[in-house]
Amino acid sequence: MISLKEKEEDFSIRIKERAIVEGFAVSGIASIKKSSRLKLRNNALERWLENGYHSDMKWMEAEKRKNIESLLKGAKSILSVGFNYLSKDHKQNTKFKIGKFGQGEDYHKIIYKKLKNLGKWLDNEIPNCKWKICVDTSPLLEKAWAEEAGLGWISKNSNLINTDYGSWMTLGFMILTKDLTPDNPSKSLCGRCEKCIEQCPTNAITEPFVINSNLCIAYHTIENRNKKLPEQIEQNLNGWIAGCDICQDVCPWNKSVPFNDSIEAAPKSWLEKLDAESLSWKEEEWNTKLRGSTLRRIKPWMWKRNIRAIIKKY
């Protein structure tokens, strides 16, 4: 007779395999039980918030972020998945640069759709199991849970790094009311390397694993709602209109990552000819070009603000 533990292990393998079938690069499981690692991550979040390193991102203060069970009553396990967004066709205009995460389709919608399909499969397999989908818009300590599920480790630039896919992944989660067999948590493999810290032009990585958003180019080009960027940011934009990949581009773990050849990761065609003319885009043209893009997070006036700051340097 098959034991309950064997059934759990079998289903744990099957749901992870199904996640890969749906198009995720990696998948792993964590058990929602208090662990010393999660306690340390929560403490680190508190220190980060106390220092004001989240700047105007007030949503990071949500108490739910520290208690995953507040997102789904009776939660017992969490499936973590990673979507590889690295495309061989990524454009890197030397004058106007866009972070690779934002060049393809909106990863929030991609991840949600794939997990929704996984949820339908789950309903057929275990009808009495409740589940909830989370992406990075949810109040979840996402990288800590991905680390706990064995997807990778939180690196010195605060990104999650996987040994096969580097940090070119966006994360998704499915919280479940079923006990599953957890994977072993990942251990850091950054070693003594500090290239990400050394190459950040604004010194936003104040110490290993700690990012001060007030000094981060990615934060200011995407989240800063002020009419003018801080002088230190303007002086170091070096062409970044949306996001910044510097600390990822220099990471040794990102040097030989497999590409995602799907249309979901393929860059939008208009990026190839991105230039100062985008300053004159009308609302209709803006909506057309950025339809289905996570770059819509950047409002048109912010887009123009960022470009003008770059032009000013030339």
Structure tokens that stand for 29 in this block: 């499981």
d(CA 105, CA 103) in angstroms, rounded, equals 7
Half-sphere exposure of 309 (CA within 13 A, CB side): 26
Residues found in the chain: 314
DSSP strand E in 97-155: where?
97-98, 131-134, 153-154
Structure tokens that stand for 40 in this block: 């340390």
Structure tokens that stand for 281 in this block: 């885009």
At residue 281, φ and ψ (nearest 5 deg) are -60, 130
Neighbours of 69 (CB within 10 A): 12
d(CA 60, CA 46) in angstroms, rounded, equals 10
Active site residues: 136
Q: Crossing angle of helices 107-125/4-21, nearest 10°?
A: 140
